[in-house]
Amino acid sequence: MSPKGHREAAARRITDLASDPRPYFTVKGLAEYWVVSRKQIYKQIDAGTLPAIRLGVRLFRIGKADALEFEHQARIIAPPPERAKRLTEVLTKPVKMRGQSEVQTKPLKTRRRT
């Protein structure tokens, strides 16, 4: 497969985990598919509930069988692809914060003082 083919395969979204031909998935791909944050995936990997192969400091690949087993054990029900895509778009939409002259690409984390 050419380098371009690898990039195209990596860019495809997971529409159905069981029928996807890829043997391994990225943290980002599974987070989008399950509509959770990447941080939640990393927490499951650190806890040992989601087995993963470490390729670098924060570079992991999760095997298809491990992802399916985790999905079954955690009773995760992935939303339909159309809904998952809309949820991902809404959650990553740029937000203009009060007092900011430009649109922020990530919402600022603020603490409420009581």
Residue ranges of domains in the chain: 3-91
Q: Report d(CA 63, CA 78) in Å as an integer.
A: 17
* Nearest-10 Cα torsion for 3, 62, 19, 39: -100
What pLDDT is stored for residue 90 in this prediction? Answer: 62
The CATH number of 3-91 is 1.10.1660
pLDDT band with cut points at 50, 70 and 90 for residue 4: low
Query: Per the confidence metrics, is the pTM higher than 0.95?
Result: no
**Under DSSP, is residue 109 helix (H, G, I), strand (E, B) or coil?**
coil
pLDDT band with cut points at 50, 70 and 90 for residue 14: confident
